[in-house]
Structure 1
């Protein structure tokens, strides 16, 4: 990570060689075509001109490290498959919360434009883009102070400094010295204030350990020569007397900012005063071979073998081809190593003969690694054996794909087989991605604390910041204005039918009568249900329309008899709530609609504000910010609030046998895979033939490419698995261990297998029961336990909105029989008052 990012303007061309030694440089496309080679150029694009994608691909293939692009263009690059580490998002400070999770995951960092550097504001943005690089560009004419640079670095951000604000002269009010900016964060724990400095060759091999000072680093950056600080003699300009000078390639700080690394091109006898290349002894491996070959090229006697190689190009070429052929034929590990060493010897001899060293080879390898478009990689025809010269020995039964997509574009799942796997391998198949809940809780805590402390004021500010909605009030109370609930008649009819189905199923779950049991004569125990008084329902959204979640949470709350139902959902930029959600809020009898999302909505419901009613339990799905906030408040005794269940990525497990329709199976898998890149999709194949599996794979690929969310599926499906099982019993046993959120049974006589299901959020039985029906309108609830929690938790149901109270009533005769038992146990535990409460009644009843 650089200390600062220079932004080249018209006045800074002369600084390029100096700036290149300290790290990357941001340049315009026009400047890039006229600048000397450098492996860390960042190209900045303020707009998206026509055909720019082809230009960007060309720049990245030419070795440009990153492109800095606006939001629209970033989306195009992500969709085109450009690696995230090559994209920086160009963003105005006021727009950062409008960035979607897809874009946030698809870039390596943010180039933030701000009128002036506000540390608090940058900190907020940095938290929003956690684990991403952050570059801060201010439009002020004066550079940031060195203390401001240090403050930015402390929160993980680097200042962007236009070259017009940089100088090689002493730092002034309008310009900062390049070395001063570079060394702003460095610290020394030495009494003399010097910095330990590792000196390495261009290829990263250690040459020695020295010390640097601010003065020596400044001179090295400016002159490009190795200059260090002698602890006895002051500035030490390497090679000034010996001639063993150094050209500085780069200077870097270590991760703790307390030491330096100089990468140098060493001239003369070497770095060490003993005329060796390294102070740590003789070098070995390829660097030693290169040194030997260069020496032989300069002075090998006539007639020697190496001289013959250099003088006879045909001999050298023949040896390279001979050794390459022998390496291809080698099979034993020792033979492979031996032949590879021979090939490297002759290949490096060819390079040295042409004036090319290991450093140039590595630069070429690095440049190839940066390419974002690839050739097919096929061998040239004269090196390829023709298919008809040798009969095929393949025994594969895998059919050739009929997909019209390129082979490397196919969307496929990973394959495993339960037969013969170890317990450790089975455990790996059951694992989900690790959820870093502690990290997310730390990120949401400042938001939760702010709402708890400042109430409505904080809620309105955070809604403006994250949802871009300027509100005067965050809560809407009934009766809701008719104009806020105007929806398409067909949509209203669908919501009404879903409402009836869901309500009918959840009403059937209500306990009608109290449970009464006489445990012994005269001792009657009972249990009765009461609704939770105040509940908060979180409905994700904003620009999205999610009336289904509002139905799934609101109806059981209504059926259970909850007195207050607070429905929270993010507002749209104009401050309104989608009319579909408002219509559902009206139908389920919501007592308030909170126009807020994220951690701030959870905090408002957990603690209450001046206008938001405090609730006793919070329900509903959400992103990782919502989930972390729910986990945080439920553990705060001051909040006195519970939550429905732990949450994780959406998931489905499909069990399919020979009766399964491949198109149905693929559609069920994709219905969950499209939720997000971390969705979990598992197919357990019961004795399916390779042909049947291939049909399912082809359907997954074909249907996925027809989806608008194909880019999400392209990431989630390859992380998903196909597990082969030998029987339906083995498949269900695996499913019970996995405990999926959704379990779909594409099995012959599927209903009979439901009795074997022990762990699942919800089960979908038979070929005509898609998971989508449970998500919307069959009647069951779609708020279900994920991440394996179906072993311990139920999905949301009517009982989730109720609590059960027990009571007991004992007659005098009952106490005569029960009292001695209680008194004996109380005495056993040493609780005299407990025993006395019984005995005093027994004596009174004598």
Structure 2
């Protein structure tokens, strides 16, 4: 219901009461010598320098989540599960959060001067699917109404300990029980709340009805009902159900039992492990002399021997019944050992939970006395630090096709799983908003996501000259690239009519027509990507599309990069939409008051753009198609003994720098260890010279070297992988192209780097990824054309063809089809 924030020195009775109703946030300045409750979070101060060991230490101590500033988040998201991280963020710094960071955490703690429900609700849409926590710097605690308001929009208030009290609620402090009870509602006339009472391990004891006063009393004192009867409870935790109308108390029961029939539970006698625990506790206190259980409690050596004996018998058991039987025996003796040491099932569960929250792991090897390999080294702690040190060598992983199974080979071909359904769900509200509110939504979303305050969304030609001023060298380079790309794409255009006389008097034709209205998405904002504008705009121009709408995110000042505007003018764009992300795709798909609707959308983008493209393509109301599915960029290089190690390394790195999820594969044909070492050494040297070395370190760390024994085997692997980019560093490389069946684009020989295809050789760089090169072509001129067929049949031709058609129509029971032929034949 709320999260308390305790600083150094806070604790005592206040902490005891708070831990009964939920997790607690501690400051990272809290002494490591102080104990931590079972459920807690750690808030890392903005000024604290990043130390990986410190983060790992907190998590290994059982902390549920770390609340970290942006600098820490960027370091941790590749190492720690998103479920263990919350982002600490000032409410005014949302624009600093990248998609990578947003998707690498499970929620955010927003620091804000005052709680604005509308603002928090708007920000929560940016962090769709994530937990939102709100910490106000106001010295006045929120009212019950404001707490309910925050919870109503899916946000949780964070209250500093200075605003909490065990006493009476005042203007300066709120009683913790009042804050907890703020959202609770009752549908009963008497206002009582159904309350399930359970043991520490969650086994039901009974159902009671609680008043606000009794709940408050239990929170503050930690005591349950039955003081006068002698059957009492120590309250361990109080939880609220999902719709805030009932409670669960977990308690330690004292006395005969919870039920008025002197049973532990009102529903039945306990069974299984709870019953065994209760029996063993009773026997430990008063087992009859001479009983077996008494012997076990009194003779530690006998108990030790029985545990070892039963463990061995469980290991030897094979069928289901025997395994269950032997496991039950082992549980009995193990729990006897626990009870003798004062350890109960709840303590074991707590230990399991704490171990599950550890992020370091031991190797898991058996100790020498239990292992068939007594010389095995003792297990060492493994800390999750995969090659993140600046001086660590940057290396790829290696597999050998000659020594792996079919399943292992299949695993090498797999790409990371794209959670398209999840992303489509997240972008749908954005798409629907633009669809229903048009320009108004587009302007709001551009202000929210691109941090640009615009008065209009679209720029129409003629474009202002001052928006297209570029460096003369850049302008000359764009012109050369434009000429090369246009020349190659003009050669692809289908300008003629195919005519075939299938039989005398029956002529079938096919001819091409441009897609009338196309939308070109060019990623941008802080980036400058005129190359993508060229690759999409030129084939649209060559194909003769009537409307070319180029969409790209604006910069914070509301302008578009002049290089992109320069290209937009070159390719004859009919409009430039100043918007990015899912909102731009929605505007292109449905149109707005100012944005022209298009018939097909092209272009790369992040996962939000990709999900939005997939969503609108499947909406029959949009009547729009897309170029192809998209995934992380990828390259596969096949190299033999003729390959220059420096060239190969450069090709691998040119793709690795795109992002940490880039897919980079080297297939080595009969390369010895020395040659492979040269390539890896070049990768390491060149990578450390790059400004994007941190990105490269992570993407190369996930990349693979695949050893093959022949060019044929290497090409077969590549065809199965179907890479976006395929580079052939092979002897007589041009002779091998005929064997390539699946690839987006092929780069042949040592002097054909992928970079040339990306920018200016003439081929298109918008290519299928994620294995879709098996089914899709890269963007080309024909992508912007559609084909129409026609037929012209003479009277003589119908006399010959008509009976055939009528017979087939009769076979399918379509009389009108047959009649359309026969009425002409009779005439």
1:415 is matched with 399
Taking the aligned partners of 2:474 and 2:503, their CA distance within structure 1 comes to 57
**In the TM superposition, what whole-angstrom CA distance separates every residue of 1:29-71 from its partner, at most 9, and x where no partner exists?**
5676897743444444564266888876776676655443443
Tell me the CA shift for residue 136 of structure 1.
2.4
Q: Evaluate the alpha carbon distance shift between residue 638 and residue 362 of structure 1 in structure 2; reply closer, same or farther with a 3 A threshold.
A: closer
Point out the more displaced range, 700-709 or 154-163: 700-709
Q: Secondary structure at the match of 1:675?
A: coil
1:450 is matched with 433
Point out the more displaced range, 561-570 or 434-443: 434-443
Q: Evaluate the alpha carbon distance shift between residue 57 and residue 164 of structure 1 in structure 2; reply closer, same or farther with a 3 A threshold.
A: same
1:400 is matched with none
Taking the aligned partners of 1:184 and 1:543, their CA distance within structure 2 comes to 45
2:159 is matched with 161
Taking the aligned partners of 1:374 and 1:408, their CA distance within structure 2 comes to 22
Give 1:222's match in structure 2, choosing from 220, 223, 226: 220
Taking the aligned partners of 1:379 and 1:178, their CA distance within structure 2 comes to 48
Give 2:618's match in structure 1, choosing from 635, 647, 652: 635
Give 2:104's match in structure 1, choosing from 106, 128, 131: 106
With the length of structure 1 as denominator, give the TM-score of the two structures: 0.78
Give 1:508's match in structure 2, choosing from 491, 515, 519: 491
**In the TM superposition, what whole-angstrom CA distance separates every residue of 1:459-480 from its partner, at most 9, and x where no partner exists?**
1111111110011122122232
Residue 91 (str. 1) matches residue 89 (str. 2): yes
Residue 20 (str. 1) matches residue 10 (str. 2): no
Q: Evaluate the alpha carbon distance shift between residue 573 and residue 410 of structure 1 in structure 2; reply closer, same or farther with a 3 A threshold.
A: same
Taking the aligned partners of 1:404 and 1:54, their CA distance within structure 2 comes to 13
Contact 1:448–1:599, Cα closer than 8 Å, also in 2: yes
Q: Evaluate the alpha carbon distance shift between residue 648 and residue 372 of structure 1 in structure 2; reply closer, same or farther with a 3 A threshold.
A: closer
Give 1:436's match in structure 2, choosing from 415, 419, 426: 419
Taking the aligned partners of 2:717 and 2:131, their CA distance within structure 1 comes to 41
Taking the aligned partners of 1:292 and 1:493, their CA distance within structure 2 comes to 90
Taking the aligned partners of 1:96 and 1:6, their CA distance within structure 2 comes to 24
2:210 is matched with 213
Taking the aligned partners of 1:647 and 1:404, their CA distance within structure 2 comes to 29
Q: Evaluate the alpha carbon distance shift between residue 332 and residue 115 of structure 1 in structure 2; reply closer, same or farther with a 3 A threshold.
A: closer
Contact 1:676–1:713, Cα closer than 8 Å, also in 2: yes
Taking the aligned partners of 1:50 and 1:405, their CA distance within structure 2 comes to 16
Taking the aligned partners of 2:537 and 2:65, their CA distance within structure 1 comes to 48
Give 1:250's match in structure 2, choosing from 237, 240, 252: 237
Q: Secondary structure at the match of 1:612?
A: coil
Point out the more displaced range, 783-792 or 745-754: 745-754
1:280 is matched with 270
Residue 750 (str. 1) matches residue 763 (str. 2): no
Taking the aligned partners of 1:405 and 1:179, their CA distance within structure 2 comes to 47
Taking the aligned partners of 2:290 and 2:160, their CA distance within structure 1 comes to 52
Contact 1:48–1:73, Cα closer than 8 Å, also in 2: no
Contact 1:744–1:766, Cα closer than 8 Å, also in 2: yes
1:472 is matched with 455
2:745 is matched with 762
1:386 is matched with none
Q: Evaluate the alpha carbon distance shift between residue 31 and residue 736 of structure 1 in structure 2; reply closer, same or farther with a 3 A threshold.
A: closer
Contact 1:200–1:264, Cα closer than 8 Å, also in 2: yes
1:618 is matched with 601
Q: Evaluate the alpha carbon distance shift between residue 797 and residue 19 of structure 1 in structure 2; reply closer, same or farther with a 3 A threshold.
A: same
Contact 1:290–1:358, Cα closer than 8 Å, also in 2: no
2:47 is matched with 48
Taking the aligned partners of 1:27 and 1:467, their CA distance within structure 2 comes to 34
Superposed, 1:491-506 pairs within 5 Å as 491-506=474-489
Taking the aligned partners of 2:250 and 2:685, their CA distance within structure 1 comes to 51
Residue 771 (str. 1) matches residue 771 (str. 2): no
Q: Evaluate the alpha carbon distance shift between residue 702 and residue 106 of structure 1 in structure 2; reply closer, same or farther with a 3 A threshold.
A: farther
Taking the aligned partners of 1:782 and 1:451, their CA distance within structure 2 comes to 30
1:75 is matched with 74
Tell me the CA shift for residue 572 of structure 1.
0.8
Q: Secondary structure at the match of 1:636?
A: coil
Taking the aligned partners of 1:300 and 1:702, their CA distance within structure 2 comes to 76
Q: Evaluate the alpha carbon distance shift between residue 10 and residue 487 of structure 1 in structure 2; reply closer, same or farther with a 3 A threshold.
A: same
Superposed, 1:372-771 pairs within 5 Å as 411-413=395-397, 415=399, 417=401, 421-422=405-406, 427-689=410-672, 700=683, 704=687, 707-717=690-700, 719-771=702-754
Taking the aligned partners of 2:622 and 2:102, their CA distance within structure 1 comes to 32
1:179 is matched with 177
Residue 783 (str. 1) matches residue 766 (str. 2): yes
With the length of structure 2 as denominator, give the TM-score of the two structures: 0.80
Q: Evaluate the alpha carbon distance shift between residue 123 and residue 439 of structure 1 in structure 2; reply closer, same or farther with a 3 A threshold.
A: farther
Give 2:777's match in structure 1, choosing from 774, 794, 813: 794
Tell me the CA shift for residue 510 of structure 1.
1.4
Tell me the CA shift for residue 650 of structure 1.
2.2
Taking the aligned partners of 1:256 and 1:668, their CA distance within structure 2 comes to 56
**In the TM superposition, what whole-angstrom CA distance separates every residue of 1:236-257 from its partner, at most 9, and x where no partner exists?**
24x7644x75544433446676
Point out the more displaced range, 757-766 or 404-413: 404-413
Point out the more displaced range, 440-449 or 467-476: 440-449
Contact 1:82–1:372, Cα closer than 8 Å, also in 2: yes
1:398 is matched with none
Give 1:126's match in structure 2, choosing from 124, 127, 136: 124
Tell me the CA shift for residue 78 of structure 1.
5.0
Point out the more displaced range, 265-274 or 513-522: 265-274
Taking the aligned partners of 2:337 and 2:684, their CA distance within structure 1 comes to 49
Tell me the CA shift for residue 363 of structure 1.
7.0
Superposed, 1:348-387 pairs within 5 Å as none
Give the number of equivalent residue pairs.
801
**In the TM superposition, what whole-angstrom CA distance separates every residue of 1:601-653 from its partner, at most 9, and x where no partner exists?**
11222222222222221100111221222222223333322211122222333
Contact 2:28–2:45, Cα closer than 8 Å, also in 1: no
Taking the aligned partners of 1:764 and 1:644, their CA distance within structure 2 comes to 22
Tell me the CA shift for residue 561 of structure 1.
1.7
Q: Evaluate the alpha carbon distance shift between residue 773 and residue 190 of structure 1 in structure 2; reply closer, same or farther with a 3 A threshold.
A: farther
Tell me the CA shift for residue 757 of structure 1.
2.1
Q: Evaluate the alpha carbon distance shift between residue 551 and residue 290 of structure 1 in structure 2; reply closer, same or farther with a 3 A threshold.
A: farther
Q: Evaluate the alpha carbon distance shift between residue 773 and residue 175 of structure 1 in structure 2; reply closer, same or farther with a 3 A threshold.
A: same
Taking the aligned partners of 1:287 and 1:664, their CA distance within structure 2 comes to 68
Point out the more displaced range, 253-262 or 118-127: 253-262
Q: Evaluate the alpha carbon distance shift between residue 279 and residue 668 of structure 1 in structure 2; reply closer, same or farther with a 3 A threshold.
A: farther
Q: Secondary structure at the match of 1:508?
A: helix
Unpaired runs of at least 5, structure 1: 228-235, 384-388, 393-402
Contact 2:297–2:336, Cα closer than 8 Å, also in 1: no
Tell me the CA shift for residue 222 of structure 1.
0.8
